[in-house]
């Protein structure tokens, strides 16, 4: 997805509080223009065009230093004599298949006054240069197109859908009657079309494109196959549920080779057998809540089953510890999806034919709602959301075992009755502010996986529209806190409201004291990293803290740029 000039203009003010590198994403990169070598500059343009095209398309902004804070220092610009027609010809001539990006100028008052924008549209990768070399966009980085990455690109484009392959043998000998019935039952609960569910087994599989020329494909085998057929034709697939007594020992284990609906139900049954219940009074009724919401577990298991990479050996592993559950499937994130954008990224199916059949049965959707449901079901009960991580060639979803927060759940219910339905983003912000004294725009953007302008709009809505938050500070030093009455309500009895600015002021006092001590001893000042160690804040919070501190203390100076930048006290004025 490309970024418009308007989108980019709205991002540029953020450079005063964060380096350009922090604003980058799968579809956005900032690059400094190599002024000393025209050849290197053209090489960089060609390389970035290939990288972005292989990663699904995106926008490259040339003329920006990506590791400095401060708009004036970051926006160096592109020489005015650079001819975009020559760049377009170079990209076209040196790529295979041919790429034709769109170049645009963005004029700014800093540097040369000109930023060069390259919009690259995703096509049918892989793309290489004329010598066969290539890179691909993975998160914020352009990585060499190794064999495994080439395979990943082919999977993402549907060129190598393993589940579309055909299985040897008569379909009737491969299918499980129990699996077919459980598949129908699950689809009926999700209100799949009745005319589809009333078809015979053969006609239902054919309607779902699971039969090709009378033969069952691997998607059909995985959805309705007999365990013996699955063991024979899909030997790499197995699911395992383990009850862990500790991090190094387990008390109980079960392995299976069942078709998807059977495997889902068997794993859920085992998890729910050790999923404690809490009772909460809501009005006249007493409601029961599990430590792990069933909807969150079901969505996590379904995601793991759908995105299983059948080419990679290893089980779909469910590890149930005394304090957490971990669900891991073979196959890492693909298509630019990462733990840092999964809430908002378009879904990318690893097994398109399998997913298409599940979509028609309404067991999954194309709107990436599954992950949001996991987050929503945990957050509505006042619990921390699941943690998603990529470990090598696998994705791991972790749920912490937590008691329900009665005050938080009651608040969500009351808001719903009043017609205010809280989104995942609303819940993330409320949950964060119960554990932290304040929230700034930068952290809200990372938390909600949004741009900073979008995060700022969300915080403004929660302040002025919903009345949940209060604003403090000004300009780049703006922060938000929970309204005192809401904090008392959500935290519950026994948690008196704290003075939420004490920690911030104490951090400024401590930092200023260290700076003065170092100046008296003739030692260098403090870097952003060193101040983070002193205050336990993140990079953007330190930038904001130091902006306030410098405004209050004119003796503090900032020297250097990038990682060599240091804050110090001007001894000459003392």
For the question of whether the overall pTM of this predicted structure is more than 0.75, the answer is: no
For residue 103, the tally of other CB atoms under 10 A from its CB is 18
Q: Is the peptide bond before 97 cis (omega within 30 degrees of 0)?
A: yes
Calculate the CA dihedral of residues 542, 543, 544, 549 and round it to 10 degrees.
80
Pick the CATH number of 408-491 from 3.90.226.10, 3.40.225.10, 1.10.10.10, 3.30.70.860: 1.10.10.10
Query: Do the Cβ atoms of 261 and 222 come closer than 8 Å?
Result: no
Angstrom distances, CA of residue 117 to CA of 16, 30, 82, 84, 94? 20, 9, 12, 10, 19
Angstrom distances, CA of residue 497 to CA of 437, 492, 500, 508? 10, 10, 8, 22
Domain 239-346+368-400 has CATH 3.40.50.970: no
**Domain 5-156: what homologous superfamily?**
Schlafen, AAA domain (3.30.950.30)
Burial of residue 501 (CB within 10 Å: 0-12, 13-18, 19+) is middle
Alpha-carbon gap, residue 175 to 202, rounded angstroms: 10
Same fold, 408-491 and 502-573: yes
pLDDT of residue 548: 87
CATH number of 502-573: 1.10.10
For residue 551, the tally of other CB atoms under 10 A from its CB is 12
Tens of pLDDT along the chain (574 residues)? Answer: 678 898 899 999 999 988 999 899 888 999 999 988 999 999 999 999 999 998 888 999 999 998 899 999 999 999 999 999 999 999 999 999 899 999 999 999 999 999 999 999 877 778 899 888 889 888 888 988 876 666 666 665 555 688 999 999 999 999 999 999 999 999 999 999 999 999 999 999 999 999 988 999 999 999 999 999 999 999 889 999 999 999 999 999 999 999 999 999 999 999 999 999 988 877 777 888 999 999 999 999 999 999 998 887 778 999 999 999 999 999 888 877 889 999 988 888 889 999 999 999 999 876 668 899 999 999 999 999 999 999 888 999 999 999 999 999 999 999 999 999 999 999 999 999 998 878 888 889 999 999 888 999 999 999 999 999 998 766 666 888 899 899 989 987 655 544 445 577 888 888 998 898 888 888 889 998 889 888 777 787 888 889 889 989 988 989 887 778 899 987 655 4
pLDDT of residue 368: 67
Q: Which pair of tokens denotes residue 386?
A: 């699941």
Angstrom distances, CA of residue 489 to CA of 462, 494, 496? 16, 11, 10
Query: Do the Cβ atoms of 12 and 108 come closer than 8 Å?
Result: yes
Query: Do the Cβ atoms of 540 and 22 come closer than 8 Å?
Result: yes
Q: What is the DSSP letter of 571?
A: G
**Domain spans in the chain, listed from the N-terminal domain onward:** 5-156, 163-233, 239-346+368-400, 408-491, 502-573
Residues near 573 by beta carbon (within 8 Å), at least 6 away in sequence: 554, 555
């Amino acid at each position: 997805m490309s970024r418009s000039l308007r989108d980019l203009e709205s991002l540029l003010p953020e450079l005063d509080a964060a380096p350009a590198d922090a604003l980058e994403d799968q579809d956005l990169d900032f690059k400094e223009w190599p002024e000393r070598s025209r050849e290197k500059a053209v090489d960089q343009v060609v390389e970035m065009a290939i990288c972005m095209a292989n990663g699904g398309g995106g926008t490259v902004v040339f003329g920006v230093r990506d590791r400095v804070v401060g708009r004036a220092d970051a926006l160096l610009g592109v020489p005015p004599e650079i001819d975009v027609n020559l760049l377009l010809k170079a990209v076209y001539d040196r790529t295979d298949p041919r790429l034709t990006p769109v170049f645009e100028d963005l004029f700014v008052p800093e540097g040369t006054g000109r930023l060069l924008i390259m919009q690259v549209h995703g096509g049918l990768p892989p793309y290489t240069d004329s010598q066969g070399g290539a890179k691909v966009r993975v998160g914020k980085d352009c990585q060499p197109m190794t064999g495994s990455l080439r395979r990943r690109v082919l999977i993402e484009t549907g060129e190598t859908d393993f589940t579309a392959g055909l299985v040897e043998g008569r379909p009737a000998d491969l299918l499980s009657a129990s699996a077919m019935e459980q598949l129908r039952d699950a689809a009926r609960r999700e209100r799949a079309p009745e005319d589809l569910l009333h078809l015979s087994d053969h006609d239902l599989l054919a309607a779902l494109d699971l039969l090709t020329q009378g033969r069952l494909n691997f998607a059909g085998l995985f959805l309705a196959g007999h365990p013996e057929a699955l063991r024979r034709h899909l030997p790499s697939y197995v699911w395992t549920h383990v009850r862990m007594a500790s991090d190094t020992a387990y008390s109980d284990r079960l392995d299976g080779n069942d078709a998807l609906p059977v495997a889902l139900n068997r794993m859920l049954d085992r998890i729910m057998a050790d999923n404690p219940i809490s009772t909460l009074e809501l009005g006249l009724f007493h409601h029961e809540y599990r430590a792990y919401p069933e909807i969150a577990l079901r969505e996590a298991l379904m995601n793991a089953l759908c995105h299983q990479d059948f080419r990679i050996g290893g089980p779909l592993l469910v590890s149930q510890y005394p304090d957490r559950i971990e669900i891991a499937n073979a196959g890492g994130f693909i298509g630019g999806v990462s733990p840092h954008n999964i809430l908002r990224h378009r879904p990318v199916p690893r097994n398109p034919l399998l997913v298409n059949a599940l979509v028609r049965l309404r067991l999954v959707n194309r709107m990436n709602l599954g992950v949001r449901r996991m987050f929503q079901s945990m957050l509505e009960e006042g619990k921390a959301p699941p943690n998603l991580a990529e470990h090598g060639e696998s994705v791991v979803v972790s749920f912490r075992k937590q008691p329900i927060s009665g005050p938080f759940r009651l608040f969500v219910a009351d808001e719903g009755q009043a017609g205010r339905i809280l989104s995942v983003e609303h819940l993330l912000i409320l949950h964060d502010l119960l554990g932290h004294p304040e929230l700034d725009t930068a952290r809200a953007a990372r938390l909600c996986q949004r741009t900073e302008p979008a995060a700022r709009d969300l915080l403004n809505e929660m302040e002025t529209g919903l009345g949940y938050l209060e604003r403090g500070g000004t300009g780049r030093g703006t922060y938000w806190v929970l309204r005192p009455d809401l904090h008392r309500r959500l935290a519950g009895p026994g948690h008196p409201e704290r003075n939420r600015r004490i920690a911030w002021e104490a951090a400024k006092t401590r930092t200023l004291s260290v700076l003065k001590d170092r100046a008296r001893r003739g030692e260098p000042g403090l870097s952003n990293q060193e101040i983070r160690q002193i205050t336990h804040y993140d990079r953007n919070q330190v930038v904001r803290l130091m902006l306030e501190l410098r405004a209050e203390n004119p003796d503090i100076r900032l020297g250097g740029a990038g990682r060599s930048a240091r804050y110090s006290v001007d001894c000459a004025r003392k």
